[in-house]
Amino acid sequence: MKVQKTVIVDKPLDAVFGYLSDFTTTTEWDPGTVVTVTQHGDGGAGTTYLNTSTFLGRKTQLTYVVREFVPGERIRLRGNNKTVIAVDTMTFRSVDAGTEVTYTAEFTFKGPSRLLAPLLRPAFERLGTKAQAGMRTALNQL
């Protein structure tokens, strides 16, 4: 399952990238996130984050590892727990209006949860739309 959202803000690319490349900021813009803490690293490739979120009333934890870090262009993280693999990619580009961020979240469900995945699409879309609004609000405050 894949959810993709784009946000354009009137802020410089370096400020937007700096803010979002610190994945602990998810607590400020992702409505599902309860807390994200850095376990190891400086934010670049190899950095590990522990993300605690709620989804459909259940609390879950994913361990994310930064797989790709291209300053000013792209960040890719891979999250994992016993029921899902999440690959989150943020791409950045300068546009006339400021900075465009495209956030793509891809979910691969494991085990029995694979059977429920198609039924969860509307809930993931709603979460994506709320995260898009939260990201826009947070970035506009930079």
Model pLDDT, residue 111 = 87
Model pLDDT, residue 12 = 97
Q: Write out the residue range of the structural domain in which residue 50 sits.
A: 2-140
Spatial separation of the C-alpha atoms in residues 124 and 113, rounded to whole Å: 14
Domains held by the chain: number: 1
Query: Nearest to residue 39, comparing CAs of 50, 27, 25, 28?
Result: 50
CA distances from 47 to 30, 83, 126 (A): 20, 22, 29
pLDDT band (50, 70, 90) for residue 3:
very high
Spatial separation of the C-alpha atoms in residues 48 and 95, rounded to whole Å: 31
Question: What CATH number is associated with residue 128?
Answer: 3.30.530.20
Q: What is the pLDDT of residues 38-82, one digit of tens each?
A: 999 999 999 999 999 998 788 999 999 999 999 999 999 999 999
Model pLDDT, residue 18 = 97
**Residue scoring higher pLDDT (46 or 109):** 46
pTM, rounded to two decimals = 0.93
In percent, how much of the chain has pLDDT > 90?
85
pLDDT above 90: residue 19:
yes
Spatial separation of the C-alpha atoms in residues 62 and 53, rounded to whole Å: 8
For the chain, give the mean pLDDT: 95
Model pLDDT, residue 117 = 77
- Lay out the sheet containing 2-9: strands in order across: 2-9, 98-109, 84-95, 74-80, 58-70, 48-55, 33-40
